[in-house]
Amino acid sequence: MANASTDAKRGTIDLAILATLEHQDRYGLEILTEVQRATNGSLTFKEGSLYPALHRLVKQGWVNTRWEESDSGGAPRKYYELTDDGRRALEAKRQEWRSVRDAMEVFLNLRGAQ
Amino acid sequence: MSPVDQYVRRATTGLPNRTRLDTAAELRVHLNERITQYVAQGFDRAEAEHLAVEQMGPAEPVNRRFLGHVFTPRVGWVVLGLLVVASGGWLAGNYLFAPAPTVKNVAVKAEELIPFIGDFQMLQLTLPKRTKALHIAITLGEDGATLSGTNLEHRYPDLRPNQRVSIPLGVGFLHTALASTECGAGNRALVTFGSDHGRSEMCVPMPSEVGSWTFLMQNADNVMVQDVWQPLLLYKPSVMVDEVPPGTRSSWSTPEGHAIVGPRDTWIAVSAFASTAPLNDGDPQAEYPTIGDVVRQYRWVEF
């Protein structure tokens, strides 16, 4: 599977982060690892760009943070947790994504059939 | 400074202190975990640090996104510096090194002399700041033919302060064949020429009487709009310039005086033609200003 384009990545990073936090609180590197694992590495981005995106989501009230001791004995980690608003935003973005995906599929199939 | 320290500093610079510390700690934890992973894979510490930082991507875009705008501190300082330099240049150009207000006599092109027989003069003006209107008086010996121009904003809508402009101002006696009016015996057609007035002819006795003068005002009828114009100065035929006392309005249509009026920031430039034989019986008056002299400059005075 080809890597998604830069624009697509930029447009989907918020959705990917929110979806990653849907069932479990995670810290930065864990979010990154989970996104790459779940997408078989097709959705990759520079690791540094994760943190500004997380900050943006915190600012929007979709995500809360807390520092927690590392279970592996390392330095404390900053965990991210989806808020109720974040869950609603995730649902809205998910619907929006599906609508776009369905529309594009119809469009591309029609074009392909011509 | 280690690559990790450098990255963290660049990525978090400019953030509010509390946010910066929190973000720096988070980035450092991330990088240290990555370094641990790389070391476990067999890389040495320096290589692992390098790879971990490389994996993060450039720090500057991250910093911009943290700040929420495109101005990183470095870009901000550069922009601020450019603004300071530009402002300084503007101030220097407009104030420190601004050309001094002057009236200068400049060469007249041959074709500009064609309608005239007699004197003709071209002035180049450098106007003071905020100049909105201009009056120019040209005298011809003691008999003083006077030409007044005014209202620069109307005449030169694009004119800027400190800008040099060349304003053709001329006066002379037309050859009879060229005069559009018959002046009769003993009279000649005096023509005055100003850039916005076009030409104006009038018959004057020759030689002209002491105190006679001609002038052009803002409109062709020589009518002053009293609601707009306020009396400012009194030009006497002898070019003595008196300020009109506050609250008074000079009589402008008498042979004794010519009221020059103008709005705020009027600049008065008085220049003079050299007196020459055909125009004047007498000798050039020593007390008259020489060509191109700025006799006086006045700002409009509120009554």
What Å distances lie between residue A111 and A4, A19, A102, CA to CA?
21, 31, 14
Say whether B57 and A47 touch across the interface (CB within 8 A).
yes
Mutation for testing the A interface, residue in B33, B56, B66 having most A CBs under 10 Å: B33
**If you ran DSSP here, which 8-state letter would residue B254 be given?**
B
φ/ψ (deg, to 5) at B221: -90, 5
Q: Where are the beta strands (DSSP E) in chain B?
A: 102-106, 120-126, 133-140, 164-173, 187-194, 198-205, 231-235, 241-243, 258-261, 266-273
Q: pLDDT-based confidence at A72, cuts 50/70/90? A: confident
In Å, how far is A27's CA from the nearest CA of chain B?
Answer: 9
What are the chain B neighbours of A75 within 8 Å (beta carbons)?
A: 28-29, 32
DSSP secondary structure code for residue B237 in this structure: T
Q: How far apart are CA B135 and CA B149, in angstroms?
A: 5
* Residues B29, A76: C-beta atoms closer than 8 Å: yes
- What is the rounded average pLDDT of the residues A15-41? 91
Half-sphere exposure of B260 (CA within 13 A, CB side): 35
Min Cα separation A78/chain B (Å): 6
Residue B196 burial by CB count (10 A; 0-12/13-18/19+): exposed, middle or buried?
middle
Taking CA–CA distances from A68, the nearest residue in chain B reads: B26
The total of other beta-carbon atoms located within 10 Å of residue B104's CB is: 16
The answer to whether the CB atoms of B56 and A48 lie below 8 A apart is: yes
Nearest to B66 among A52, A74, A76 (CB): A52
Please report residues of A whose CB lies closer than 8 A to that of B55: 46-47
Q: What is the mean pLDDT of chain A?
A: 84
Q: What are phi and psi of A68, to 5 degrees?
A: -140, 145
Q: Which domains does chain A have, with CATH numbers?
A: 6-113 (1.10.10.10)
| A77 neighbourhood in chain B, CB within 8 Å | 29
CA-based nearest distance B71→chain A, Å:
15
Where residue A102 falls among pLDDT bands split at 50, 70, 90?
Answer: confident
pLDDT of residue A23: 94
- Phi and psi at B94, nearest 5°, equal -95, -25
Contact state of A78 with B26 under an 8 Å Cβ cutoff: yes
Q: Is the dihedral of CA B259, B243, B171, B134 positive or negative?
A: negative
The whole-angstrom distance between A67's CA and the closest CA on chain B is 9
Q: How far is CA B136 from the centre of its chain?
A: 17
pLDDT value of position B215: 29
Nearest to A48 among B29, B32, B62 (CB): B62
Please count the residue pairs, one from chain A and one from chain B, whose beta carbons lie less than 8 angstroms apart. 57
The residue of chain A nearest to residue B37, with distances taken between CA atoms, is A29
B23, amino acid identity = T
pLDDT of residue B208: 45
The pLDDT score that the predictor gives to residue A80 is 96
The minimal CB distance from B55 to the residues A47, A51, A76 is found for A47
Write down the pTM of the prediction: 0.47
How many angstroms separate the CA atoms of B87 and B43, rounded?
Answer: 54
Q: Residue A111 contacts by C-beta under 8 Å, 6 or more apart in sequence?
A: none
**The predicted structure's pLDDT at residue B249:** 39
Q: Which of A26, A31, A44, A46 to mutate to test the interface with B (most CBs of B within 10 A)?
A: A46
Residue A21 has pLDDT above 80, yes or no: yes
Between residues A75 and A30, which one has the greater pLDDT? A30
Is B229 in contact with B262 (CB distance < 8 Å)?
yes
pLDDT at A83 over 70: yes
Half-sphere exposure for B196 (CA within 13 Å, toward CB): 19
Amino acid at residue number A101: R
Burial A74-110 (b: 16+ CB within 10 A, else e): eeebbbbebbeebeebbeebeeeeeeeeeeeeeeeee
Assigned token pair, B81: 């510096």
Q: Which residues contact A75 (CB under 8 A, 6 or more apart)?
A: B28, B29, B32
For residue B268, give the nearest of B235, B237, B219 by alpha carbon. Answer: B235
Answer whether residue A37 shows pLDDT above 70: yes
d(CA A114, CA A104): 15
Confirm if A17 and A31 have CB atoms less than 8 A apart. Answer: yes
SS3 B133: strand
Segment A89-103 mean pLDDT? 88
Which of A15-24, A48-57, A65-74 is the least confident region?
A65-74
Query: What pLDDT is attached to residue B5?
Result: 94
Distance from CA of A28 to the nearest CA of B (A): 7
Q: Which chain A residues are Cβ-neighbours of B24 within 8 angstroms?
A: none
The per-residue pLDDT for B115 is 53
The predicted pLDDT at position B289 comes to 35
Substitution target from A71, A78, A79 for chain B, most B beta carbons within 10 A: A78
* Residue B140 near residue B119 (C-beta atoms within 8 A): yes
Euclidean distance between CA atoms A95 and A18, whole angstroms: 13
303 residues of chain B, pLDDT tens digit each: 889 999 999 999 988 888 899 999 999 999 999 999 999 999 999 999 999 999 999 999 999 888 876 566 677 788 889 999 999 888 877 667 766 666 565 666 655 555 554 445 555 666 655 555 555 554 444 444 444 444 444 555 566 656 666 555 555 566 555 555 677 776 666 665 554 445 566 666 555 432 222 222 222 233 333 222 223 333 333 333 444 444 443 433 332 233 444 444 444 454 444 333 333 333 333 333 333 334 434 333 332
- The residue in chain B having the minimum alpha-carbon distance to the alpha carbon of residue A54 is B66
